[in-house]
Chains A and B, each alone.
Chain A
Amino acid sequence: MISVTEYKPQEEVLEFLEKCQSVYIIGCGSCTTITHTGGKAEVLKMKESLAETGKEITGWMVIPTACDELAKDALKEAGDEIQSADCLLIMTCAFGVQNIAMFTGKPVFPALNTIFIGKEQTTPGLFSEVCRQCGDCVLAWTGGICPVVSCSKGLLNGPCGGTDEGKCEVDSDKDCAWTMIYNRLKDQGRLDLFDKEQPPKHYQSGTRPGKITIQ
């Protein structure tokens, strides 16, 4: 699993940084390195482009894994360069941004949007969203394909009328989840599961935000 990110528009980033003369840039050696949105090469490119707009770059680093506890030690090592900056521009996913904000106490600005938690598929480089942590798993009834996340409407009782030739109406590059579910259940001789009427989901509003202490 990786946290999939994409660049925010440069104008938006420059708007964040409007009141900051000096900036420290932080990337991540894990997910954003894989997605080429916050690895060393991208951090250096960002450094260059911000310098061109007249910003002073006090330093940069690529934390091995920005979302874990060890990030704190990495940030401590760069203490002076970080402390002397007006703000930090973060090229990690939103997990890392929040971690760095907590550990440094400095103003942090994300350079990226975090768009989904992706599972690597059999095609190299292809990542898909397969679970949205809804807390009310339906995979038992759907042949192990999640309609909550794989159907663009999250439908539980079959396809909408917008599907065509097994593709989704919102994006013809995406498969219709319910056509896939139908095909898999049919192959397994379990189409009776399709007939089962699924009640409205329990959206677990009471458990959000999620928090758990594991003993």
Chain B
Amino acid sequence: MVIPFKEILNSGKFIVTSEIAPPKGTNLDNTIHHIDLLKDKVDALNATDNQSSVMRYPSLGLCLLIKEHGGEPILQMTCRDRNRMALESDLLFAYSRGIENVLCLTGDSMVVGDHKGAKQVFDLESVQLLRAIRLMESGEDLGGNELDGVVEFCAGAIVTPEAHPVEPQLLKFKKKVAAGAEFFQTQAVYDLDNFRKFMEYAIPLNTKVLAGIVLLTSARMARFMTANLPGIFVPDNLIDEIAGAEKGMALQTGIEIAGRMIKTIQEESICDGVHIMAIGREDRVPDILAAAGL
């Protein structure tokens, strides 16, 4: 029996979510394999939405697939590809099909992806999408019209604790809470001292925070992310640890680092849980959980 994510959020238990990327095409075999592998090991599974602006099978479709296979989906919705009408109508559809959790994202810029010439929308952004959900729950759409049958969602958002400078991000984080975000899945965190400082800001806002754990698969990947991805900083000691691993053991070391971080976060109750992103290595999420003692 699947426990609704909202219930888990309020249960006081250490929350674990992970994510599944839909395929680039209609071959769902690998995706279904990952759902079956993870659905009973985590509390909910995010379905990413054309992530990194790369066109893929839709997150709504993946959420239905997760449900059909007995998992609890979190629908990721970005504002890049749909205007407010399309977002609202997809929310109606999602709710009608039993999808109860939504992660509201602004979305990456079109130019970072594989459809660089496409028109990016951003008619709404994350704060406004959260507010739209709360409005629709009250029985009204963004045009001020009455709904025949309302929605009810557990709505979340994201935050980047290691952004430079972090102050504008923290103000936006506060705005997202005010607009109705019940939980946050963070961008990757590696420096737990920094993350503890972020949590000092977050705790008074009285929301649920799941620390983003991105699996490091090699020293090269760790260096690449630090150099190229905004808000991601892998400290030198972790890069050295992976670089120093025996030949063929880099991934295993990355799994151990992820497991160790999760364990520390749980033991020290730094935040409410973790969101594991094993980009391209979803098959190794159970190993990360095992390394964390979960």
Chain B minimum-CB-distance residue to A196: B175
> Are the CB atoms of B158 and A161 closer together than 8 Å?
yes
> Are the CB atoms of B175 and A155 closer together than 8 Å?
no
Residues on B with beta carbons closer than 8 Å to the beta carbon of A161: 158-160, 163, 169, 187, 230-231
The listed residue (A153, A170, A178, A200) touching B84 by CB distance below 8 A is: A200
Interface residues in A58-86 (C-beta closer than 8 Å to B)? none
> Are the CB atoms of B111 and A163 closer together than 8 Å?
no
The listed residue (A152, A163, A182) touching B230 by CB distance below 8 A is: A163
> Are the CB atoms of A195 and B171 closer together than 8 Å?
yes
A121 to chain B minimum Cβ distance, whole angstroms, is 23
Residues on B with beta carbons closer than 8 Å to the beta carbon of A191: 171
The listed residue (B106, B160, B174) touching A153 by CB distance below 8 A is: B106
**CA–CA, A110 to B175, complex, Å?**
46
A179 within 8 A of B: yes
Interface residues in A120-176 (C-beta closer than 8 Å to B)? 152-166, 169-170
**CA–CA, A191 to B171, complex, Å?**
9
B102 to chain A minimum Cβ distance, whole angstroms, is 17
A187 to chain B minimum Cβ distance, whole angstroms, is 13
> Are the CB atoms of B111 and A170 closer together than 8 Å?
yes
> Are the CB atoms of A163 and B163 closer together than 8 Å?
yes
Chain B minimum-CB-distance residue to A201: B123
Residues on B with beta carbons closer than 8 Å to the beta carbon of A158: 127, 168-169, 171-172, 175
A11 within 8 A of B: no
Residues on B with beta carbons closer than 8 Å to the beta carbon of A18: none
Q: Given that A153-B120, A155-B122 are known contacts, is A162 also in contact with B128, CB under 8 Å in the complex?
A: no
B residues sitting closer than 8 Å to A (CB atoms) are: 80, 84, 106-109, 111-112, 120, 122-128, 131-132, 142, 158-160, 163-165, 167-169, 171-172, 174-175, 178-179, 187, 230-231
A residues sitting closer than 8 Å to B (CB atoms) are: 152-166, 169-170, 178-179, 182, 191, 194-195, 197-201, 203
Q: List 20 A-B contacts (CB under 8 A).
A: A153-B109, A153-B120, A154-B122, A155-B122, A157-B126, A158-B168, A158-B169, A161-B163, A161-B231, A162-B109, A164-B230, A169-B109, A170-B109, A170-B112, A182-B171, A191-B171, A197-B179, A198-B127, A198-B128, A199-B128
